[in-house]
């Protein structure tokens, strides 16, 4: 691990770091906020997965999480959204695929499978480093995300309910296998057999028996991607009669931006803190 920057914030410490990733075949950047309480004891961890075109920096700069995270004693980890570097394959003119659009999966199709292994990076590589360097209580982990990152948070929680104790999302892509802006990416990363896509689709994971106790989802009614890309009502349908409690809050007049995310960030942090203890 290399330190890119560290600065005091709300009594805690906001840092940006890089690590050599075997999964992604490149250096991966991530940020970690440690609350003041981390000086005295191990603290629970909340992961924030960002959306298409973003890096670790978007929520770090605009998410407004540090004040309350410090008060609640939460470590906030923000990974990047894809591998980076000149040697990493890309479609530069396609913002919905390639760099910035890893979709939190492990690609199986060439040439993407050599580097686009974000699931392994976030679930295996990065937690080991976080546990070893940041006073993190890895028995108390929550996960949340925005848009593509909301998709990642939901699917990771459904596949690993023993690891994650809480999960929330801002405007998640709940059914990427059929959404306009994600279906082409799944086919390029995973191939044409749609059966292989199911483990990366929250609604289909639930159909196939995956369970998680409860989700908090906020969605803006003025979001331009609502009808074709996000469609939270599909998650509502999937959760119905499964025992999964879904708190879906349609927020009047809010769009897809960090103005929306920062407005409700405190609610999500409090949700996670209450469930992480």
Set 182, 218, 223, 268: catalytic member: 223
21 is catalytic: no
Q: What is the CA radius of gyration of the chain?
A: 17
Neighbours of 151 (CB within 10 A): 28
Neighbours of 247 (CB within 10 A): 11
268 is catalytic: no
Set 31, 50, 147, 166: catalytic member: 147
**Secondary structure of the chain in HEC code, one letter for each residue:** CEEEEEEEECCEEEEEEEEEECCCCEEEEEEEEECHHHHCCCEEEEEEECCCCCCCHHHHHHCCCHHHHHHHCCEEEEECCCCCCCCCCCCCCCCCCECCECCCCECCCCCHHHCCEHHHHHHHHHHHHHHHHCCEEEEEEEEEEECHHHHHHHHHHHHCCCCEEEEEEECCCCCCCCCCCCHHHHHHHHCCCHHHHHHHCHHHHHHCCCCCCEEEEEEECCCCCHHHHHCHHHHHHHHCCCCCEEEEEEECCCCCCHHHHHHHHHHHHHHHHHHHC
Set 115, 146, 256, 272: catalytic member: 256
121 is catalytic: no
Catalytic residues: 147, 223, 256
């Amino acid at each position: 691990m290399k330190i890119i920057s560290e600065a005091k914030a709300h009594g805690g410490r906001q840092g940006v770091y890089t690590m050599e990733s075997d999964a992604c075949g490149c250096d991966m950047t991530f940020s970690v906020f440690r609350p003041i309480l981390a000086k005295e004891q191990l603290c629970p961890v909340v992961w924030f997965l960002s959306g298409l075109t973003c890096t670790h920096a978007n929520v770090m700069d605009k998410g407004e999480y540090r004040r309350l995270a410090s008060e609640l004693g939460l470590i906030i980890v923000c990974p990047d959204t894809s591998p980076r570097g000149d040697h990493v394959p890309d479609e530069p003119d396609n913002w919905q695929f390639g760099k910035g659009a890893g979709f939190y999966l492990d690609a199986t199709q060439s040439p993407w499978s050599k580097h686009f292994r974000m699931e392994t990076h976030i679930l295996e590589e990065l937690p080991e480093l976080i546990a070893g360097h940041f006073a993190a209580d890895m028995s108390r982990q929550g996960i949340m995300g925005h848009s593509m990152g909301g998709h990642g948070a939901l699917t990771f929680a459904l596949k690993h309910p023993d690891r994650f104790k809480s999960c929330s999302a801002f405007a998640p892509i709940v059914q990427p296998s059929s959404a306009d802006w994600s279906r082409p990416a799944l086919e390029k990363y995973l191939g044409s057999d749609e059966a292989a896509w199911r483990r990366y689709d929250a609604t289909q994971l639930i159909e196939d028996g995956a369970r998680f106790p409860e989700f908090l989802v906020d969605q803006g009614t003025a979001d331009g991607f609502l009808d074709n890309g996000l469609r939270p009502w599909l998650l509502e349908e999937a959760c119905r009669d499964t025992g999964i409690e879904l708190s879906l809050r349609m927020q009047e007049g809010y769009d897809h931006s960090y103005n929306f995310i920062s407005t409700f960030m405190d609610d999500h942090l409090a949700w996670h803190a209450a469930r992480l203890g």
